[in-house]
Amino acid sequence: MQIMEAVILAIYLLIMTGIGIFFAKRAHSSEGDYWTAGGRINSFVGSFAFFAAVASSSSLMGAVGSGVALGVPFLLAYGFGAVAIPSFAMFLISGQIRRAGVKTLPEFFKNRYGKSVQITAAILVVLSMTFYMIPQLTASGLIGSYVLGIDYVTAVIILGLGFTLYAALGGMWAITYTDLLQGAVMVIGMFILAILILMDHGGVGALFQDALSVDPQFGSITQPWMSYFGLFIAFLWFGVVSPSAVMRNFAARDAKTARRSALGACILYVTVFIFGFVIASAGASLGIADTLENQDMIFISVIEHYMPALLAGVMLAGLLAAIMSSADAMLLAVSAGIAHDIYKEHINKNASEKTVTRLGLIVMLLASVVGIIFAVDPPQLIAVMVGWVSGAMLSAFGFPLVLGLWWKRTNTAGALAGMIGGTVAFVIMALLPSALVSEHLISAPISALLTIVVSLMTAPPADAVQKEVDRYHANIDA
């Protein structure tokens, strides 16, 4: 057991839980507060919140792990798409979806296409976000087992349940405000680690040469073109199709704040990937990647090698924080999907807010238990698992959402065909042997084609719906 690291981690988690409890009262005062923090978050908090919710454990441990395991261009391809996450979502959907005035992604689908699409979307959100818990739990298990000196499985269970308790306590208020702290710890921690590494090796050039001398393939393209392109597309679209990222958008006070938050998140992303490049180079120079049981552990090894115990503790807390904020945003999306979009909308319309919030709590617990079961034996590198989830969500929601916002001829049949057809195509592609993270390069175009062709072959949407789509593009602040 690493005593210093464990003590810092414990203090950190206590502070986070304190914040969760502090905001719990506020969160439970109304449903709007619980799901989207009452739409009152400012741009500074919003930047960190957006960044911390999207920059999951994968952006840190996963990108570094994949950069060392598959060569640093893999990390750069990850960043190539990921740095554009907040911007691409803002360019393509943010203003329109805010004007639509909905709280969740399935709620948009209901207003635009009706019940059938909403229920399908809610089910797919729940499935994809539950699967997305697996890489988060894998990363937290690796950190927990290292710091506490317990076995990986026990760490996954303890931390997984801890996250749920915390997310359940405060909803989006707690998550957004702790994200400010978590985002800051992540960025500052990575900055300090990068400086320590560069001082140790004598600059970027020397560090990179040290990495190349240990692993001559470190700077090379080691995978098929499709894998890099697939990774880029999966992450580029992540902010558009990820329900947790979309919900962040609703938490901003107004359109101007939402845009500035996205810009802030983009700056944070650039910074983190530059530091990530340095950390991955240091990881490769250690020459221990092949000896690790799980190559995603390399980030932890770099922290331990270059940082004194006190700083290492803070850094590991930052990492765990990143995971916690992403996992919490996902749990909230799962819980909103069932409690808000299915139960309240279709099963019990008269349900009190208290009942809906409580149901959300039970759903969160179930989702994390499912996540824990799968995370016990993770199927791939963290970066690859996140790429899968993002690719699956793109294949399911990407085109029904974007076309629904931009093309008023898109109708219910088209959206359903695109959603179901894209998901089925993704599952088939995942079962066939293909290059890493390239499944959605086939399934997403199939979804787009189905959405367009089926919409054109069937009756156009009602006039009221078409007028509503025009309103998304009217020059009004929202």
Partner 1 sequence: MRDLTKQKWKDPGIVMVVLLSLISLVVWIWWPADVFIGGLSLAGWLMFFCFFIWLILTITYVIWMERIEKKRID
User: What residues line the site for partner 1 (CB under 8 A)?
Assistant: 72-73, 76-77, 79-80, 83-84, 86-88, 90-92, 94-95, 205, 208-209, 212, 218-221, 225, 228-229, 232, 236, 255-256, 259-260, 262-263, 266-267, 269-270, 273-274, 277, 406, 470, 473, 475, 477
**Which CB sits closer to partner 1, 4 or 226?**
226
Question: CB 113 → partner 1: shortest distance, Å?
Answer: 20
Q: Is 153 exposed, middle or buried (0-12, 13-18, 19+ CB in 10 A)?
A: middle
Question: CB 317 → partner 1: shortest distance, Å?
Answer: 27
Question: CB 218 → partner 1: shortest distance, Å?
Answer: 8
**Which CB sits closer to partner 1, 22 or 407?**
407
Angle at alpha carbon of residue 290, lines to 289 and 293, rounded to 5°: 90
Question: CB 423 → partner 1: shortest distance, Å?
Answer: 24
**Which CB sits closer to partner 1, 8 or 233?**
233
Question: CB 250 → partner 1: shortest distance, Å?
Answer: 18
Q: Which of 272, 235, 251 has its CA nearest to residue 51?
A: 272
**Which CB sits closer to partner 1, 354 or 473?**
473
**Which CB sits closer to partner 1, 215 or 439?**
215
Question: CB 473 → partner 1: shortest distance, Å?
Answer: 6
Angle at alpha carbon of residue 217, lines to 213 and 223, rounded to 5°: 165
- Which residues lie closer than 8 Å to 311 by C-beta, 6 or more apart? 189, 192
Task: For residue 252, give the 3-state DSSP assignment.
Answer: strand
- List the alpha helices (DSSP H) in 336-432: 353-375, 382-393, 399-406, 412-431
Cβ atoms of 132 and 386 within 8 Å: the answer is yes
**Which CB sits closer to partner 1, 168 or 282?**
282
Q: What is the CA radius of gyration of the chain?
A: 21
Question: CB 274 → partner 1: shortest distance, Å?
Answer: 8
**Which CB sits closer to partner 1, 371 or 400?**
400
- Alpha-carbon distance 375 to 377, whole Å? 5
- List the alpha helices (DSSP H) in 202-254: 204-214, 225-236, 238-241, 243-251
Cβ atoms of 452 and 400 within 8 Å: the answer is no
